[in-house]
Amino acid sequence: MPYRAPVEDFLFLFEHVVPLDALRETERFSEAGHDVTRAILTEAGKLCDEVMAPLQRNGDLHPARLENGVVRTSPGYPEGFRAIAEGGWIGMAADPEYGGMGLPMALTSAVNEMMSGACLSLQLAPLMSQGQIEALEHHASDAIKELYLPKLVSGEWTGTMNLTEPQAGSDVGALSTKAEPQGDGTYAISGQKIYISWGDHDVAENVCHLVLARLPGAPAGTKGISLFLVPKYLPEGDGSLGAANSLRVVSLEHKLGLHGSPTAVMEYDAATGWLVGPEQGGMAAMFTMMNNARLGVGEQGIGAAEAAYQKALEYAAERKQGRSPVEGGTGTILDHADVRRMLMTMKADVFAARAIAASCAVAIDMGNATGDAAWKARAALLTPIVKAFGTDTGIAVSEMGVQVHGGMGFIEETGAAQFARDVRVTAIYEGTNGIQAMDLVGRKMMDGGEAAQTLLEEIEAGSEAARSTIPDLAEAVWQAAESLRETTDWLVAQEMNTRFAGAVPYLRAFARVLGGALHLKAALADAGGPREALARFYIRRLLPEHASLLAHAQAGADDLYAVDAGDLAA
């Protein structure tokens, strides 16, 4: 059974769990009705199933390579990218003024997840362009928008983000790349950047790099950083390509996975660039792209998890091993309780992560459509949870998929291990999951926990309403939300390093509670059906983890430093 995009799962989600009704009532998204939603997801599903999924193994077996300064991508990738571009999928959420569809982020994120499940290495290319499109829409001059956005939206050109340097990873403020004014409105950019996803390739005619650099006399740290647009080929005024810019690919990284995605070390040698946003406003502009990417990376994790689950389920339904422990069983390992436990865990967590991501995307859309600060605060709160829980789920489910395969999961020819290798980096890039958790308990709690408490109030109200229908599940979700509320109150009263010490378990506990609430909604909409059964599994078996996670979150920081740094190796 090849990969099949979960179109029907998304349609159920958008009708019953994270409904798009309020979104459709806004002027901005009034045309995103039920028929449009179904048509978009169905067509995207066909692209994923028929075009992208067949390329999944090509990327792993035939990696991108650098030949005489030219990057060659995996077999079929140029054609696959062209199909994505010609279908308009890159510019789904982009401004129609520049050729975009103007669709909600909710639909864009759903399509991104399906594409990630089909072929994660290839999906990275349009994801990078989408982030750059949003950054330019918000921060670039009109001249840059008019020249670059139509090309990026159409897929004729692609975009990248250049933050990391050998000495400056998460500490972006330590970067050394320089930007010198050239007196004609352009800047000479010099420096080296590493880990640049799709930094060069042969799937489109130009590559547009967003590069963080420091102007002469700018202060140290992140406050002194500016953002520049540096294209591979310098465009003429009419959008045609001119001379090659002074930049090159030094090498391609040798990676654990994602072999089909060319990850480049880039060198800029007085390359011509244009300022995006104000001087020393680089981090604000780049965060626009990074927040877009954090939602997208969370979706990548969920997509990989869905694909790994489908692969494991297919194997389990065919593999015969031992005697069936259940009367009238299938005769395959699907009959065995532990295999069922793994598959149910995989399916339940994929649903929870997908629904949390959809909730975040809808909050982004509502904030954009209404300008309501409460919706924007909700989106900001959920973004680090989506990124961390989505990618953690991708890693855990993919690893569990290897386990379901048993010994065959360790054999590369089955393809099970590829999901685990490919998805592993998602917990690292766009801010490690530890940084996401620190962001949640730090910056996102600067309101005293108000946004978090408002969300928990909604969960408790929904649980109260469900007591008459599914009392046992409703009570469990209510109690979990109340425990999380109490821990949130405790957390915001602590000094920052105490918060950081418990940040990761706190974020995971928050995700567990959100997942329980969203499973509860699914159960109410499918009483007596398979979605209620899945909700019962999640709420009875996985949700209780929140208690130990919250205990961990409140343990403080002292014991983390009880062993001196020099004694850690003892």
Query: Would you name the residues annotated as active-site residues?
Result: 430
Q: Say if CB 207 and CB 199 are below 8 A apart.
A: yes
In terms of Cα–Cα distance, which of 196, 195, 222, 223 is closest to 209? 196
- Tokens representing 348? 């339940």
In terms of Cα–Cα distance, which of 505, 516, 519, 517 is closest to 547? 505
DSSP for 421-447 reads HHHGGGGTTTS-HHHHHHHHHTGGGTT
Residue 286: CB partners within 8 Å, gap ≥ 6? 135, 161, 163, 210, 212, 227
In terms of Cα–Cα distance, which of 65, 427, 56 is closest to 264? 65
Q: For residues 319 and 344, give the distance between their C-alpha atoms in angstroms, rounded to a whole number.
A: 17
Q: C-alpha angle with apex 484: 481 to 489, nearest 5 degrees?
A: 130
Q: Say if CB 112 and CB 251 are below 8 A apart.
A: no
Enter the DSSP assignment of 26: S
The SS3 call for residue 284 is: helix
Q: Say if CB 416 and CB 402 are below 8 A apart.
A: yes
Strand-pair category, 225-231 with 206-214: antiparallel
Residue type at 508 in one-letter notation:
R
Whole-angstrom CA distances from 405 to 54, 317, 401, 410 are 21, 11, 7, 8
Phi/psi of residue 234, nearest 5 degrees = -75, 120
In Å, how far from its chain's centre is CA 69?
31
Tell me the H-state helices in 13-102: 21-24, 34-47, 56-61, 77-86
Residue ranges of E strands in 198-304: 206-214, 225-231, 233-235, 241-244, 247-252, 263-276
Query: How many C-alpha atoms does 243 have within 13 Å on its Cβ side?
Result: 5
Q: For residues 166 and 322, give the distance between their C-alpha atoms in angstroms, rounded to a whole number.
A: 52
